[in-house]
Structure 1
């Protein structure tokens, strides 16, 4: 019987060869107090990182999303409808794109890609546009952060 292997990451096209810290690397380790179960009890809310070719595909999608939103950002157009239209213009179904006001001068978005990478989320404001691709959540839900737990 084959044992599962550790996912392999490699430098993606257009990516700097400098190592980046992955979401998994930010997971608390042995410095955690045995009585502190916060991280354990809320692990279901930590997005699954992408690895290998999926990570490269995710970086490509993130680049396309940022490119599509940059004209809006430069104009100061943070209206959720404008953000949704720009992202739908990339070919994502309008039902799979959420856009919302993020503060008084910004917007947030979440795209359920439906294939790997599954999800892209981010924000934009007058200073920048951020986006991140991830593989959903450990509970198997869609791209929405799960609620509940124990």
Structure 2
């Protein structure tokens, strides 16, 4: 009896060992692919919903801007690029200054960016570009939080600023020049952020 049990056990062990050399890779199958696709769709929908909520919050905070841009639609505006001189090395120049390019703005973002730039220009009026403290006070009085902008003096009496519009996304940049502050909207720089990156290669 014991001998028969041992023989059966040995046979089972040999059969198991014979199968150990084979590697079976599970086929993901259509259900796995469908699950991955569903997860990607859910992530995209969550991102879109988050963006909608942020934009709605922006329009509540700045109702005059939101109302004026509620129906803005269209294709993205072209991205800004560095000017290229007409010479044989222009290709190299463009490559070295590609870091100055910005992401194209969608029509809603362009509308809101231009509207914010206009309200800042109106608040500054015809006054000349002034000190950093004056500029910071003006931006705060318009409802922009300190965390949303950075005033840049760069050792000059006339200050500039970089501002990221909360919720709407566009950047607003104010640059002093010829005694006036030039204010304009643009997308994020390709290297990231609203402030122009320094240097190239």
Higher relative contact order (CA 8 A, sep 6+): 1
* Structure with the largest fraction of strand: 1
TM-score by length of 2: 0.50
Aligned residues: 128
* Aligned equivalent of 1:144: 195
Of residues 43, 64, 80, the one that matches 2:98 is 43
1:96-131 deviation line (CA, Å, top 9, x unaligned):
222233676532111122433431111357853321
1:16-75 deviation line (CA, Å, top 9, x unaligned):
xxxxxx65487659x66377412123212223342422211111011111112227x2xx
The 5 A counterparts of 1:18-29 are 24=80, 28=84
The 5 A counterparts of 1:1-150 are 7=75, 24=80, 28=84, 33=88, 36-70=91-125, 73=127, 78-101=130-153, 106-124=158-176, 127-139=179-191, 141-147=192-198, 149-150=200-201
Aligned 8 A contact 1:70 1:129 in 2: no
Aligned 8 A contact 2:117 2:183 in 1: yes
TM-score by length of 1: 0.64
Query: Which of these two proteins has the greater Rg computed from alpha carbons?
Result: 2
Consecutive unaligned residues of structure 1, counting only runs of 5 or more, are 1-5, 10-21
Distance in 2 between residues matched to 1:28 and 1:52, nearest whole Å:
26
Question: Residues 36 and 86 (structure 1 numbering): CA distance in 2 closer, same or farther, change over 3 Å?
Answer: same
Distance in 1 between residues matched to 2:82 and 2:104, nearest whole Å:
11
